Amino acid sequence: NVSKVYGVVLEAESRREAETKAEEMCKRLLANPTKDNYAIVIEEEK
């Protein structure tokens, strides 16, 4: 079982916008939906 963790910094006007952007990135760039899973964690910049 291979696990990979990616960190991404992005700008968004709201938490919801950040979640939407991250979800789209995962769907298009990272995950093969037939065999891969992913989780998104949003952390606000301090």
- Give the pLDDT score at 11: 93
* Contact call for residues 30 and 38 (beta carbons, < 8 A): yes
CA distance 11 to 1: 32
Q: What's the pLDDT at 5?
A: 87
Give the number of other Cβ atoms within 10 Å of residue 20's Cβ.
12
- Predicted model pTM: 0.75
Question: pLDDT tens-digit profile of 8-28?
Answer: 999 999 999 999 999 999 888
pLDDT of residue 12: 95
Residues 6+ apart with CB under 8 A from 12: 18, 21
How far apart CA 28 and CA 22 sit, in angstroms, is 10
Domain that holds residue 30: 1-46
Q: How many domains does the chain have?
A: 1
